[in-house]
């Protein structure tokens, strides 16, 4: 009798657990590969923070990346409600902001918003981003 109760309890437990493992679809929209290079005066910028701000005004998604020593970056998208992070960016028009550290301790930062709009399209996207020197 004890074995029967134990078996029934296990069966009920497994049934409950399998019912709780509901497959949820990711709220992330389709993403497309976005990479590029940030340069200033033709030289690559290391450790710049690149943010693509969607013109659609979505506050749920954050699209950004960081440059390496060669000035190269790849964008990732973070969903604010789920904290899910995936490589790429949704299709659409973006304003690009680049933040540069002005000292080794990253205490002084320069923020540059590029004047052009950038269009992420289905497939691979490669954006060379040139920071123009300030005119004297």
pLDDT of residue 136: 47
Stretches where the chain sits below pLDDT 50 are 2-4, 6-23, 133, 136
51-41-75 Cα angle (round to 5): 20
Spatial CA neighbour of 82 closest among 123, 29, 125? 29
For residue 34, the SS3 value is strand
For residue 99, the SS3 value is strand
Contact between 75 and 89 (Cβ < 8 Å):
yes
Residue 82 token pair = 């789920």
Spatial CA neighbour of 54 closest among 113, 89, 88, 94? 94
C-alpha distances in angstroms, 70 versus 24, 73, 113?
Answer: 39, 9, 21
pLDDT of residue 56: 83
Q: How far is CA 100 from its chain centroid?
A: 18
Domains (ranges, CATH) in the chain?
Answer: 31-131 (2.60.40.10)
Contact between 45 and 101 (Cβ < 8 Å):
no
pLDDT of residue 106: 65
Q: How far is Cα 94 from Cα 81, in angstroms, rounded to an integer?
A: 21
């Amino acid at each position: 009798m004890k074995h029967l109760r134990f078996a029934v309890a296990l069966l009920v437990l497994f049934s409950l657990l399998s019912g709780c493992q509901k497959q949820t679809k990711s709220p992330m929209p389709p993403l497309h590969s976005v990479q590029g290079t940030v340069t200033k005066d033709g030289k690559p910028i290391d450790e710049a923070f690149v943010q693509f701000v969607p013109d659609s005004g979505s506050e749920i998604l954050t699209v950004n990346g960081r440059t390496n020593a060669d000035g190269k970056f790849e964008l990732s998208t973070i969903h604010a409600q789920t904290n899910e992070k995936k490589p790429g960016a949704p299709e659409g028009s973006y304003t690009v902001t680049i933040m540069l550290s002005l000292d080794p301790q990253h205490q002084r930062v320069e923020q540059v918003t590029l004047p052009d709009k950038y269009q992420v399209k289905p497939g691979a996207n490669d954006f060379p981003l040139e920071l123009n020197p300030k005119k004297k």
